Amino acid sequence: MTVPTRCDERDATQHGDRAARRTRSTSPRALAAWLAVALVACVVAGVRVGTSDSLGFGDLARGGLAMVGLGEPLESRGLQTICELRYWRVLVSIGVGAALALSGGLLQGVFRNHLASPSVLGVTSGASLGASVAILLVAGGGSFLLIDRVGGAAPALITAFAFAGAMGVTVLITAIATTGGRVSVPTLLLVGIALNAMIGGALAAMQAWALDDSDLTRAMITWTFGRLDDRSAWHAGVVWSGLTLSAAVIPFTAFELDLFAAGEEDARGLGVDTRRVKLVALAGASLAAAVAVSVCGQIAFVGLVVPHVLRLLSGPSHRSLLPLCLLGGPVLVLGADVAQRLALGANYLPPGVVMSMLGGPFFLYLLLRNKRAVEAW
Amino acid sequence: MDVRAEGLRFDYPGPLRAVDGVDFTAREGELVCVIGPNGAGKSTLLMLLAGMLDPDAGAVRLGDATLADLSPRDRARRVGVVPQALDRLPEVHVREFVLGGRYAHLPAFGRARTRDREAVDAALAACDAADLGERLLTRLSGGQRQRVLIARALAQEAPVLLVDEPTNSLDPEHQLTIFELLAQQTCEGRAVVVVTHDLNLASQFATRLVLVQAGRIAADGPPAEVLRPEVLRGVYGDRLTYGSLPATADGVARPFVLPWRAQ
């Protein structure tokens, strides 16, 4: 069978070649290597920089070995504590960044929209609401539930409630925005706006009730701003175990989400069990967002910015995008935290505030960049 | 493998029944064209045959198996679907897109093997699209895109091929190319079912025509039996002109129907 060469096909060839070159500017492996180098640099800077004096590499090494029982602690008990706090902060930051970016990558894949992210859709708000309810339920006005002094069974309860809140919001937005198996993007974003507003109101109401209890109020407000200081082994354990479980969905959903790109119906025709894939991906996204929020509060826009930038750099395939999120998220969260600590010193801002200041304009940029597509919604 | 619809019925919300008790069979080596007016239920019937919709009553049989009992992967190994259009064109290279057709054959975690890459190459070659492999799907012309969609379905290596309006918005040359390609598949033992509005292409290439009206089969037979004024008048009205010409494939005269207001 021969098909005559046509002018439109020749034009398409030239355009296609240019576009192909553009999309192949960075291979996923090269990008992963760059991100790994950046992450190592962020980790080194992260453990050295803090509100107190900079720690030397020798102290950091000895303090770190002592943490895992392979050496004597530093002579100064205070210095050992500072060293440990920095290690936990860095470990938690990496876990939180990876979890939020992974959550965004999964949500964007399921909803086939680059504007979907746990914060825009209200998933992190749902987690925050769940965490605040847990605080109210078990705190009884007690200060032991302060985010930096959690102990006993309370942290597990907070994580469980945060997960329930995140999952509840995910199920709700999916149910409302889906008609006949198709997700309406405007409905999705409007539901996200409505849920964020409703949950914001509920959180404000809870904070108003708790105004007389300054510890309780502080605990809840901390969730609103996000916090990476004063983390402990517990926080690191929660976020890393949740992240591990969430990342375990990648091999079971990545190729399938690539096939979702042309439509759910089309993916079904190719043999994809679309219900199972959506359920697994949404559970993974909710768990990732929930553990991140439950250990450090709300940090918005990481799940929006990271997958989008990585997609621009290395292409749309979820088989590379989702693993890259596990490196890109930590680079953004830890990098931004270290950078602002270096720039602002003791007056550094909470990470949630920094990310909102970076992510808000980025969201507007995305809307403007996709203006034609947005107007067609 | 034969594909058989048995008493298929399907309702969308509302008073109209989209598919109302349809029985028909497409056998190995047959190209069956499903024709009928807009809203007759042709595409719904195709989606039921593909298992993308669950029938309210009746069943679809693929050889000895019942479609509803098959897992999504098993179904995709038996039935390849070429959709009328995609919801959105993914920004992927053609070879990667066609590899999606191998999903049901891939081992866990979707890692393609040599066998899968060979199937993709063979499917692209069969559709005269081997040179498109490294191009972006979004940058193809309409005819190229349609060939790539068919290539993806061929990569599934399914014995049944279901195609929904493959020649929409294509020029006449590309329309012929696409139908030649589909007819070729029957030589390899596939059962091919094509939903189309083009009565003349259907007449040239189909083994049988199935005329659907208001969710029911109004006629089922060779083109010469179906494309007659007394059969089509009740479906398409009386403003058609009928004739016959020898078809290029076998030289046998086939009917043609034109939307031509004769005096």
pLDDT along chain B (263 residues), means of 10: 89 79 90 91 90 89 89 92 85 91 84 89 87 89 87 92 86 86 88 92 91 90 89 84 77 82 66
* Residue A376 vs residues A154, A186, A370, B37: alpha-carbon distances, Å: 47, 10, 10, 30
Note whether B211 contacts A: Cβ–Cβ < 8 A.
no
Residue A25, pLDDT score? 62
Domain A24-376: CATH superfamily, name plus number: ABC transporter involved in vitamin B12 uptake, BtuC (1.10.3470.10)
Which residues does chain B have within 8 Å of residue A9's beta carbon, measured at their own beta carbons?
141, 143-144
Annotated domain spans of chain A: 24-376
Judged by CB atoms within 8 Å, which residues 296-355 of A form the interface with B? Answer: 315-317, 319
Q: List the beta strands (DSSP E) in chain B.
A: 3-11, 17-26, 31-35, 57-62, 65-66, 79-82, 160-164, 191-195, 208-213, 216-221, 241-246, 253-258
> How many other β-carbons are positioned within 10 Å of the β-carbon of residue B4?
18
Cβ of B50 and A269 within 8 Å? yes
What ipTM was reported for this prediction? 0.86
Question: Which residues in chain B have Cβ-Cβ distances shorter than 8 Å to A256?
Answer: 103, 110
Query: In which region does residue A5 sit, left (phi positive, over 0), alpha (psi from -120 to 50) or beta (all else)?
Result: beta
From chain A, the residues in CB contact with B54 under 8 A are none
pLDDT at A51: 66
Q: How high is the pLDDT of residue B262?
A: 64
Q: Judge whether B215 and B18 are in contact, CB under 8 Å.
A: yes
Q: Which residues of B touch A263 (CB under 8 A)?
A: 83, 86-88
Those of residues 134-163 in B touching chain A at CB distance below 8 A are 134-136, 138-141, 143-144, 152, 156
Please state, in angstroms and rounded to a whole number, the distance separating the CA atoms of residues B259 and A11. Answer: 34
In this prediction, residue B60 carries a pLDDT of 93
The pLDDT value given to residue A14: 42
DSSP letter assigned to residue A210: T
Interface test with B, best of A2, A18, A21, A266 (most B CBs within 10 A): A266
Burial class (CB in 10 A: 0-12, 13-18, 19+), B58: middle
Res A148: pLDDT: 47
On whether any CB of chain B is under 8 Å from the CB of A269, the answer is yes
The token duo for B71 is 């897992």
Residues of chain A scoring pLDDT < 70: 1-25, 51-54, 138-155, 180-183, 370-377
Across the A:B interface, residue pairs with CB atoms under 8 Å apart total 115
Buried b (16+ CB within 10 A) or exposed e, A137-162: ebbeeeeebbbeebeeebbebbbbbb
Beta bridge partners of B31: B192
Phi then psi for residue A277, to 5 deg, are -65, -45
Q: Which residues of A touch B75 (CB under 8 A)?
A: 271
Q: Which residues in A lie closer than 8 A to residue B178 (C-beta atoms)?
A: none
Closest chain A residue by Cα to residue B51: A269
Answer whether A270 touches B (CB < 8 Å): yes
User: Does the CB of B175 have a partner CB in chain A at under 8 Å?
Assistant: no
Mutate to test the interface with A, among B74, B88, B99, B150 (most CBs of A within 10 A): B88
Show residues of chain B in contact with A272, CB under 8 Å: 72, 103
pLDDT at position A155: 66
Which of B84, B57, B80 has the alpha carbon at shortest distance from B68? Answer: B57
Strand B57-62: give its sheet, edge to edge: B17-26, B3-11, B57-62, B65-66
pLDDT of residue A53: 65
Q: What's the pLDDT at B170?
A: 78
H helices then E strands: how many in chain A? 16, 2
